Amino acid sequence: MSNQAAVNRADFDQVMVPNYSPSKVIPVRGVGSRLWDQEGREFIDFAGGIAVNCLGHCHPALVNALTEQGNKLWHLSNVYTNEPAIRLAQKLVDATFADKVYFANSGAEANEAALKLARRWALDKFGAHKDQIISFTKSFHGRTFFTVTVGGQPAYSDGFGPKPGAIEHVAYNDLSALAAVMSDKTCAVMIEPLQGEGGVISPDVEFIKGVRDLCDQHNALLVFDEVQTGFGRTGSLYAYEQLGVTPDILASAKSLGGGFPIGAMLTTAAIAEHLKVGTHGSTYGGNPLACAVAEAVFDVVNTPAVLDGVKQREQLFKQHLADINSNYSVFKDIRGQGMLLGAELSDAYTGRARDFLNAATDAGVFVLMAGPNVIRFTPSLVIPEQDIAEGMQRFAKAVASLVG
Ligand SMILES: *Cc1c(COP(=O)(O)O)cnc(C)c1O
């Protein structure tokens, strides 16, 4: 410890590539849904590491799994398998539609595997003409060049040279627009079963069922990107369970590791068999340390107590936000599901989500944005009621400071 130099936020700009613009506070410690910065100031965490810290900070079951595995075995590579990976895969298979699991290290990598598998499946079964991938405007699927191009925000994929081809975008919740571009050339439709980054937008039930039907009509695979919605976030282990629509491939990450980097792609046996030996891989994917932590997350999250608790907390959050709105009239919509909620700013505050986020930080609570007009809340699934109340008091103060 003695050789650790003191560092501060200004040092960040000196030594880091400028692709991020982090908050001026540097948190150094966290317990549950509270964090402390370098100066010892306390913050309530409604951001949850962008929907990652599903059990808050330093949850005892996760710390225990990490230290236990950390004293046993960290890494092997996929030249060898390991016990935590097999156990975690078994649990995921038992709890979902899937028969098979591929492990990665992030959401982007889980989606990358899903897209490559879909393309390989279509090539093997139908031929090279079946290569079209369709996704939705404003969608977010990660930052590898394939996933960012499939994502529906061209600003993120422009400026890097030629993009992967045969990718189309249509508007979310517009079934006829999707029907118009689909054909027997369609290989896969990739969709978030609730758009997160795009503004916390739920799918209409008719729409999402229609997407499934269109995929069936055209022999196309339905890929659910549940990187943000998955692992209890919306009140079921995966969001697809509540929609009554089952995908062919599902990508999971974020909450899956509770803060330890891991991603997973889940699919059926018939589709999985197209990812033959050597077709895809990762040095770290399925790493024993990551899988041991994710297994502990699974054991806590996949219980009625936690999943039902998410629904209760959703009501609490929505009530608090409605109360704030009745005092200050800053939101035109409060929406989302479970612990993935959005408050869209009313017209008088258009484009000012960042100001609300900064004011919240000053008032001692972390929140997120989902685009320039939506404040997003993705706290721990087990955030205590008194932290919700205290955090909302602070958030109300932030709102008051902007309304002036
Ligand atoms: C965060 C996110 C990703 C990307 O995950 P990374 O771990 O950052 O690669 C992909 N899809 C969705 C829906 C996400 O929310």
Ligand 1 pocket, residue 192 CB under 6 Å = yes
How far are the Cα atoms of 36, 63, 122, 149, 352 from residue 313, in angstroms, in the given order?
23, 24, 42, 35, 26
Where are the domains positioned within the chain? Answer: 9-58+304-403, 73-301
Alpha-carbon dihedral sign for residues 316, 321, 325, 328:
positive
Ligand 1 pocket, residue 228 CB under 6 Å = yes
Residue 107 CA to ligand 1 center (angstroms) comes to 4
Residue 281 CA to ligand 1 center (angstroms) comes to 19
How far are the Cα atoms of 349, 367, 372 from residue 363, in angstroms, in the given order?
19, 11, 20
Ligand 1 pocket, residue 231 CB under 6 Å = no
Ligand 1 pocket, residue 375 CB under 6 Å = no
User: Is residue 88 scored above 90 in pLDDT?
Assistant: yes
Residue 265 CA to ligand 1 center (angstroms) comes to 13
Ligand 1 pocket, residue 108 CB under 6 Å = yes
Residue 226 CA to ligand 1 center (angstroms) comes to 9
Give one DSSP letter per residue of 93-124, joined into a string.
HHHSS-SEEEEESSHHHHHHHHHHHHHHHHHH
Out of 225, 248, 317, 387, pick the active-site residue: 225
- Which pLDDT score, from 0 to 100, does residue 404 have? 73
User: Is residue 136 scored above 90 in pLDDT?
Assistant: yes
Q: Taking the CA atoms of the chain, what radius of gyration do you get in angstroms? A: 21
Q: Which of 140, 147, 153, 376 to mutate to test the pocket of ligand 1 (most atoms within 8 A of CB)?
A: 140
Token pair, residue 346, equals: 């009313």
Report pLDDT digits (tens) over 156-165. 999 999 999 9
Ligand 1 pocket, residue 142 CB under 6 Å = yes
- Which pLDDT score, from 0 to 100, does residue 280 have? 98
Ligand 1 pocket, residue 250 CB under 6 Å = no
Ligand 1 pocket, residue 225 CB under 6 Å = yes
- State mean pLDDT over 330-353: 98
Q: Which of 20, 141, 262 to mutate to test the pocket of ligand 1 (most atoms within 8 A of CB)?
A: 141
140 noted as active-site residue: yes
254 noted as active-site residue: yes
Burial class (CB in 10 A: 0-12, 13-18, 19+), 28: exposed
Task: Please name the residue ranges forming H helices in 188-287.
Answer: 205-217, 240-243, 269-272
Out of 46, 140, 317, 366, pick the active-site residue: 140
Give one DSSP letter per residue of 371-399, joined into a string.
STTEEEE---TT--HHHHHHHHHHHHHHH
State the average pLDDT for the chain.
98
Architecture of domain 73-301: 3-Layer(aba) Sandwich (3.40)
User: Is residue 1 scored above 60 in pLDDT?
Assistant: no
Q: Cα torsion at 18, 22, 26, 27 (round to 10°)?
A: -130
Residue 89 CA to ligand 1 center (angstroms) comes to 20
Interatomic CA distance for residues 227 and 238, integer angstroms: 10
Q: How many other C-beta atoms are found inside a 10 Å radius of the C-beta of residue 187? A: 26
The CATH number assigned to the domain with range 9-58+304-403 reads 3.90.1150.10
Instruction: For the chain, give the percent of residues with pLDDT over 70.
Output: 100
- Which pLDDT score, from 0 to 100, does residue 59 have? 98
Residue 143 CA to ligand 1 center (angstroms) comes to 8
Q: Can you say whether residue 200 is alpha, beta or left, with left for phi > 0 and alpha for psi between -120 and 50 degrees?
A: left
Interatomic CA distance for residues 187 and 152, integer angstroms: 18
Ligand 1 pocket, residue 368 CB under 6 Å = no
pLDDT band, very low/low/confident/very high, at 2 (cuts 50, 70, 90): low
pLDDT band, very low/low/confident/very high, at 229 (cuts 50, 70, 90): very high
Interatomic CA distance for residues 38 and 19, integer angstroms: 23
Residue 110 CA to ligand 1 center (angstroms) comes to 9
- State mean pLDDT over 216-241: 98
Give one DSSP letter per residue of 352-371, joined into a string.
-HHHHHHHHHHHTEE-EESS
User: Is residue 193 scored above 60 in pLDDT?
Assistant: yes
The CA angle 147-301-51, to the nearest 5 degrees, is 40
